[in-house]
Amino acid sequence: MMGAAIGSYHGVAAVTASVDGSTGGPVHVLVNPQVIGGLNSQGARIVLSHEAVHAATDVTDTAMAPWLLEGFADYVALRDVPLPLSTTARQILAEVRQDGAPRHLPGAAEFNDQSETFGAEYEAAWLACRLLARIGGEQALVRLYDAVRDGAGLEATMRREMGLGVTAFTARWRQELTELAHA
């Protein structure tokens, strides 16, 4: 339905996309039954909540930083789910224990469904948004997301809403990942 190459999205439970490939058109949440069928009901609800955030905020054709795009959707999806970090951040914390914290926030190269660590980047992005909500509050996170989605610059908007720029935030996020991995 998406016109994607065969084999792409093979490990993806669901994706939100324009069915006809247009920008600004209607979007749909497309579910991969082989992947989502392997999840328990709570996992499936989290995936569908994540995709519903993408659909509700109309971000299928945005140039938003991938870590903010995906991290915000996971932040909303996981906000009221009582799961421990050993479940919600298992992959990224294992990577940090083994290799240290990533040097930068996850970008397009990290969000690769062919990667052997597919999932860790979502966890890293979620932890970034979780940290932003702690720094500036949930409403500031929402304002940041909305402004950047609507075309505002990430750096200036982060400074206004969070009181720090991307470089300083990245350092705090890396420190947080290290502390969580070794807690």
Confidence tier at 160 by pLDDT (50, 70, 90):
very high
pTM: 0.89
Least confident of 27-41, 42-56, 139-153: 27-41
Q: What is the predicted pLDDT for the residue at 23?
A: 66
Which tens digit of pLDDT belongs to each residue from 81-130?
999 999 999 999 999 999 999 999 999 888 876 666 678 999 999 999 99
With b for 16 or more beta-carbon neighbours within 10 A and e for fewer, the 29-64 pattern comes to: ebbbeebeeeeeeeebebbbbbbbbbbebebbebeb
Confidence tier at 18 by pLDDT (50, 70, 90):
confident
Work out the average pLDDT over 29-38. Answer: 83
Amino acid in position 91: Q
